[in-house]
Amino acid sequence: MNSRLPFLLLIFVLVAIGLSSIYYRHVHTGVPLTPGQRIDVWQVEADISFTGTGEPATVALNLPRDSQFELMEEFTASPAYGVNVTRDEQHSKVVWSKREVQGPQTLYYKGSYKAALNPKDALPPAEQPEPPLLAEPYQSSAKAVLDEAISKSGDTETLVQQVISLINSDDQNVAMLLSRHSRSRTFVLLMQHAQIPVKLVRGLQLEDERRNQSLIPLVKVYLNDEWRLFNLSRVVLDQENPLLIWLEDQPYLLDVVGGEDSSIKFAISKFRSSAVREANHVANQKSWGFGLYSLPIAEQNLFRSILLLPIGALVVVFLRILVGVRCSGTFMPVLIATAFIQTELLNGLLGFSLVVAAGLVIRSYLSHLNLLMVSRISAVVIVVIGIIIAFTVFAFKMGLTEALTITFFPMIIMAWTIERMSILWEEEGAREVLIQGCGSLFIAVIAYLLMDNSLVRHWAFNFLGVHVLIMAAILMIGQYTGYRLLELRRFKHLS
C-alpha cells in the first residue's frame, strides 16, 4: 500500500491541475463551456468637439470604471494630438494635448466593452460628508420633506422609496427644492440629510444603433450592503438594455483647457462575437496569458487535430482494458478514426473495408511468391496506393465524388493492417480476422463519434486541462486489475 501513495498523489495532483486549469479558463478567461456561444460586445464612441483659441490645449476625458463591464480594446483618433491613456487606482482617463490649437476640433475615443465575467463587489461607502447646510427656505423645506418621508416609512428602504415618490409628487416643499436644484441633486441632498450613503453617477444607456447620446444622471444609494441604482431624471430607461456607468466618484466627464464651446456626444453600436475568440483575445493581452490562440492559424489547426488524439487514446484504453475488445494494432483504430473525420463515417467505413478486402486478396497472392518480409510489406504499400488510385478514378468516373476522400487514409497504416490481417488469417483463421477487424472498426467508430463531436473538439482545444484529466484517467486504468467486461462472459461458468 505504501508504494501506492506516491501514485495516488500523482493522480491527485494531475486531477487538481486539470480541474483548476479548466476552472481558470472558464471563470477567469471566460471561455464558454459549450461551443458556438456568442456574447454582446458594445462599441461606444465618444465624439468630442471644441473650438481652439490658439493656445496650447489639453483635453481630459474620464473613462468608465464600471465593474459590471470589461474593457476589451480601445482606440483614439485625433490628428496631430499627443494621446495618453492612464489607468490606475484613482484615475482612468485619456488626455489629448497639442501645442497650438486653432478653430473647430474633433477628437474621438472608441472603446469596446463586454459584460464582466465576475463583477467585483462595489466598495462600501467611505465616510459620509457632513450634510451641507442649505440657505433658507430650502433647509426647512428639505427638513419638512424628510420628516414626512420618515413618518410614512418603517426602514431605510421604504424611506428611500418615500423620498422618491415625494420628489415625483407635486408637494409644495419639493417644488421649492426643485426650483433651485435638479431632481437628482435634490434626492442626493435629502439622502445626505437622512445620513444615508448616496452618490451621483452618470450612465450611458447601451442600445444598438444610437447616435448623439448623452450621459444620464442617476443616483446610487447604499442599501442593504449594496449600491442600488435609481433614476430620478425624466429620461425613461430601457430595462432591456444595460447601463454603462461612466462617471462615478469623478468630478467631471470632460475637461478642456485652452478651448471653448466643448461638447461630447456618444454613439453606440452592438455586435455579437464568438465568446471563445473574445475570451482569448483578452487573455492574449495579459502577459502570461499564453495559449494556443497566440499561434498562427495554421499551427492552431494542426493542434486542433493533434489534441483529438488523447481522446482517441482514452477510447482505446477504455475499450481494451475495461471492456476487452480485441483489435489489430494498438493505436491503429485511432488513426483510422482521424481518417474518418476527413472522409465522413459511411464513406470511411466503406472505403476502408473495400481497400482492406482488396488488399487481402492481393496479399494472399504475394504470400505465394515467397518474399522476405520487408519487401512483402513494401509491395503491399504499393498495392494499397494502386487500389486507392483505382477506386478514386473509378468513383470519379461514376460521379461518386464522396468516394474521393478515400485518399485521406494513411497508406502505411493500411498496408500494415493488411499485412497483420493476412498473417492472422493464415495463423488463426478467418474467424479471428473478422473478430479483430470488427473490433478495430468498432473502436475506430466510437473514437470517431467522440472526436467529431463539436463539444469534445471545443473542450479538447480550449481546455488543455482536459488532457491532464485524461492522463490521470489513463494512469488509473493502467493499474486496474479487475475483470474486463467480456471476461464476465468468458468466465460465466466459473461463477
Which positions lie near another protein, rule CB under 8 A? Answer: 321, 324, 370-373, 376, 423, 427-429, 479-485, 487-495
Among the listed residues 181, 201, 222, 198, the one whose alpha carbon sits nearest the alpha carbon of residue 131? 198
Buried b or exposed e, range 170-199, using 16+ CB within 10 angstroms: ebebbebbeeeeebbbbbbbbbbbbebbbb
Nearer Cβ to another protein, position 280 or 422?
422
Q: Which three cell numbers stand for residue 233?
A: 431624471
Distance (Å, whole) CA 161 – CA 157 = 6
Distance (Å, whole) CA 279 – CA 275 = 6
Nearer Cβ to another protein, position 115 or 323?
323
Q: How far is the CB of 72 from another protein (least distance, A)?
A: 51
Q: How far is the CB of 479 from another protein (least distance, A)?
A: 7
Torsion angle of the four alpha carbons 374, 377, 379, 380, in this order, in degrees rounded to the nearest 10:
180
Nearer Cβ to another protein, position 393 or 488?
488
Q: Which three cell numbers stand for residue 493?
A: 461458468
Q: SS3 of 228, please? A: strand
Sheet containing 92-98, strands listed edge to edge, beginning at the edge strand earlier in sequence: 82-87, 92-98, 57-62, 254-257
DSSP per-residue codes, 246-262 = EESS-S-SEEEESEEEE
User: Is residue 108 a contact partner of residue 43, using CB atoms and an 8 Å limit?
Assistant: no
Q: SS3 of 375, please? A: helix
Q: How far is the CB of 331 from another protein (least distance, A)?
A: 17
User: Is residue 263 a contact partner of residue 49, using CB atoms and an 8 Å limit?
Assistant: yes
Nearer Cβ to another protein, position 234 or 368?
368
Q: How far is the CB of 406 from another protein (least distance, A)?
A: 27
Q: How far is the CB of 317 from another protein (least distance, A)?
A: 11
| Omega cis (within 30) before 137 | yes
Q: How far is the CB of 419 from another protein (least distance, A)?
A: 9
How far is C-alpha 463 from the chain's CA centre?
Answer: 11
Q: How far is the CB of 356 from another protein (least distance, A)?
A: 19
Nearer Cβ to another protein, position 239 or 495?
495
Cell 505465394 locates to 368
Please tell me what DSSP assigns to residue 367.
Answer: G
Are β-strands 38-53 and 254-257 bridged in parallel, bridged antiparallel, or unpaired? unpaired
Distance (Å, whole) CA 351 – CA 400 = 12
Nearer Cβ to another protein, position 176 or 475?
475
Q: How far is the CB of 423 from another protein (least distance, A)?
A: 7
SS3 of 389-420: HHHHHHHHHCCCHHHHHHHHCCHHHHHHHHHH
Q: How far is the CB of 383 from another protein (least distance, A)?
A: 18
Sign of CA dihedral 187, 192, 195, 196: positive
Q: How far is the CB of 374 from another protein (least distance, A)?
A: 8
Nearer Cβ to another protein, position 119 or 478?
478
